[in-house]
Amino acid sequence: MIYSMTGYGRAVAMYQDKKICVEVRSLNGKAMDLSTRMAQQFKGHEMEVRSYLTAMLERGKVDFALWVEQNGKDETPSVNKDVMRCYIEQLHEASQQLNISLPQNIMEVVLRMPDVISRKETYEVSDEEWAVAKEAMERAVSDLLSFRKQEGEALYAKFRTKIDNIAQLLATVEQYETERVAKIKSRIVDNLEKLVGIDYDRNRLEQELIFYIEKLDVSEEKQRLANHLEYFVSTMNDTQGQGKKLGFIAQEMGREINTLGSKSNHAEMQNIVVKMKDELEQIKEQVLNAL
């Protein structure tokens, strides 16, 4: 079963007069890239949170946020505008009196002044409150996993369509193989006939043609590509976490398709190869989202 790396989950829990909010989202990534933003009072549980998210989500670019709202207000720092205004006025007065130019980044300077930003006092989180927050986190992750599963089902359907398309295109190659060999042989003989006054050994020509045509045989490439298509489908039906493996299989499919194109020497076969490359490119784009 395929799971997507894209997902989103959110949960809210109440504890006394506080509302604990949890939000987690993920995008595709080669490894686990986890970013956490937590209310100051929950910072002591950050390692536990990171371990849980890593175990549950495996890989991807994951953003986790946990914050607390009390009495309808978010517990975030607030800017004291009166104090800020006072600092700015004093800086302007000092600039005029001392004939010193104001700094270009005056806002940055003022924000560093004492008491401009007031922070609410943090408190020690009880085991009971953490249990409520942890349950909200687990629900948010559960929602994200459901989202990943839903997106994974859509990916599975796309992959099956593209794999079937490549298999159908591969099946059409056979009808041109006999025609291709005859055309190659005819073209070489015609060119030799145009060489007036030059005699050549026809038996030797037949031997060389057989050798040349064997080098252009695509039977092995067709068989290997068919095997890769079957392996891709069987891998999709394995347990989750097969995204990297599917990417490797897609690369091998690309090698066989490229070799098929380089050996084709036939306009219709080359058109088929181009169509297969287009289908494979779409697979490669989407496989980056597979977990």
> What pLDDT is recorded for position 40?
83
State yes or no: pLDDT of 132 exceeds 90: yes
Name every residue whose Cβ is closer than 8 Å to that of residue 58 and which is 6 or more positions away in sequence. Answer: 32, 241, 291
Burial pattern 100-123, b for ≥16 Cβ within 10 A else e, equals eeeeeeeeeebeebeebeeeeeee
* pLDDT tens for each residue of 14-61: 988 889 999 999 998 888 999 999 888 888 899 999 999 999 998 899
Alpha-carbon distances of 80 from 16, 107, 114, rounded to whole Å: 28, 13, 10
> What pLDDT is recorded for position 213?
64
State yes or no: pLDDT of 120 exceeds 60: no
Number of CB atoms found within 10 A of residue 155's CB? 23
> What pLDDT is recorded for position 148?
92
Q: How far apart are CA 3 and CA 147, in angstroms?
A: 9
* pLDDT tens for each residue of 53-106: 999 998 899 999 999 887 655 555 677 788 888 888 888 888 888 888 887 788
Q: How far apart are CA 38 and CA 40, in angstroms?
A: 6
* pLDDT tens for each residue of 172-199: 888 877 676 666 666 666 666 666 556 6
Paired tokens of 82? 């009166």
Of 93, 270, 276, 52, which is closest to residue 180 (Cα–Cα)?
270
SS (H, E, C) 86-106: HHHHHHHHHHHHHCCCCCCCH
Q: Would the pTM of this model clear 0.85, i.e. be above it?
A: no
Domains of the chain in sequence order: 7-76+125-149 (3.30.230.10), 78-118 (no CATH), 150-287 (no CATH)
* pLDDT tens for each residue of 257-275: 998 888 777 778 889 999 9
> Average model confidence (pLDDT) for the chain?
84
